[in-house]
């Protein structure tokens, strides 16, 4: 099943962001370090390149990601023109403050009282933008939640006499081109739950984990073995935990949610679902999904 999610309010969010881009100096793109390319909005790149704005890519939730994969992504992004990258965890005190020091060299003509540095924070839903904003401001100003698409409007903040910040709503793009990207985003809780079935996403995640992180899976779920695919892993979790429906059949939905939550929370360990190498391999063998109209059930209303 192809996963798509483009709530109606994101159309107006794109329009406002496009208009505001003209008046900013640096774009801060917040990404989930576990899926930094799958979770990078191609519309954002088009907008900033059209205005020739430099970009600081912030790989947030780095404490949940595989350190080796994160290093590979930093090297990959830092090799790109007009782009710098850093990996942090916004929930850790002081981490977000590193961002401001990196933004100044990207716009050396700004950062004075007469010409304040104007930064715009962008990214898809649930990557931690609001947590990042609150950490910078050292108070809870932006709404924070565990579900995607909490922030719905642009918010302006004066960090100092020389720095200004604009927070934008989490913004998806109209069509996820690659089917696997939809599953990566859903597994990482970066799109609304109404857009996918947890059991299918958990099976996809299980397949990937058994291929790339079998030791971590077997450490967490003692009944797992190398011969299992995602479906078998979910069944093993249900049996191991005693998840049953009315004491009879195994509750596979609960087991699927357990696997998803253990990955999302970091309970399974530090895991990245893609690397520059696996990304390149995926692109070499995959064909983008054809354009088609999305109905209201696909788009959702979150």
The token pair that represents 296 in the structure block: 């209201």
Predicted local confidence at residue 152, as pLDDT: 58
**Backbone angle region of 94, left / alpha / beta, with phi > 0 → left and psi within -120 to 50 → alpha:** left
Predicted local confidence at residue 9, as pLDDT: 72
Domain topology for 9-167: Rossmann fold (3.40.50)
Where in the chain do CATH 3.40.50.300 domains reside? 9-167
Class of domain 197-285: mainly alpha
Where in the chain do CATH 1.10.1580.10 domains reside? 197-285
Phi, psi of 190 (to 5 degrees): -105, 0
Q: Name the stretches of the chain with pLDDT < 70.
A: 1, 139-152, 247, 291-302
Predicted local confidence at residue 300, as pLDDT: 41
- CA–CA distance, 184 with 35 (Å, rounded to integer): 7
DSSP labels for 35-64? Answer: STTTTS-HHHHHHHHHTT--EEEEEE-TTT
Q: 7: closest CA among 148, 130, 120?
A: 148
The helix/strand/coil state of 161 is coil
- For residue range 125-135, list pLDDT tens digits in order: 999 998 888 88
Can you give the pTM of this predicted structure?
Answer: 0.89
Predicted local confidence at residue 141, as pLDDT: 62
Predicted local confidence at residue 294, as pLDDT: 42
- For residue range 71-110, list pLDDT tens digits in order: 999 999 999 999 999 999 988 878 888 898 899 999 999 9
Q: Which residues contact 101 (CB under 8 A, 6 or more apart)?
A: none
């Amino acid at each position: 099943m192809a996963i798509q999610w483009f709530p109606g309010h994101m159309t107006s969010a794109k329009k406002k962001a496009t208009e505001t881009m003209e008046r900013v100096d640096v774009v801060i793109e917040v990404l989930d370090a576990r899926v930094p390319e799958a979770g990078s909005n191609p519309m954002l790149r088009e907008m900033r390149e059209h205005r020739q704005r430099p970009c600081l890519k912030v790989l947030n939730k780095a404490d949940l990601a595989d350190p080796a994969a994160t290093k590979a992504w930093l090297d990959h992004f830092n090799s790109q023109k007009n782009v710098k990258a850093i990996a942090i965890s916004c929930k850790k005190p002081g981490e977000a403050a590193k961002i401001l020091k990196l933004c100044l060299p990207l716009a050396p003509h700004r950062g004075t009282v007469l010409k304040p540095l104007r930064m715009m924070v962008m990214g898809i839903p649930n990557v931690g933008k609001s947590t990042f904003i609150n950490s910078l401001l050292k108070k809870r100003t932006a709404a924070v939640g565990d579900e995607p698409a909490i922030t719905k409007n642009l918010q302006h903040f004066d960090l100092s006499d020389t720095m200004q910040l604009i927070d934008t709503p989490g913004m998806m793009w109209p069509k996820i081109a690659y089917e696997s990207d939809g599953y990566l985003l859903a597994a990482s809780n970066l799109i609304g739950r109404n857009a996918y079935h947890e059991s299918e996403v958990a099976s996809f995640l299980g397949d990937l984990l058994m291929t790339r992180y079998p030791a971590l899976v077997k450490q967490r779920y003692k009944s797992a073995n190398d011969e299992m695919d995602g479906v078998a892993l979910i069944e093993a979790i249900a049996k191991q935990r005693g998840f049953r429906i009315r004491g009879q059949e195994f509750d596979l939905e609960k087991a699927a949610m357990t696997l998803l939550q253990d990955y999302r929370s970091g309970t399974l360990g530090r895991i990245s679902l893609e690397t520059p190498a696996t990304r390149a391999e995926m692109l070499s063998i995959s064909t983008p999904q054809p354009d088609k109209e999305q109905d209201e059930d696909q788009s959702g209303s979150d």
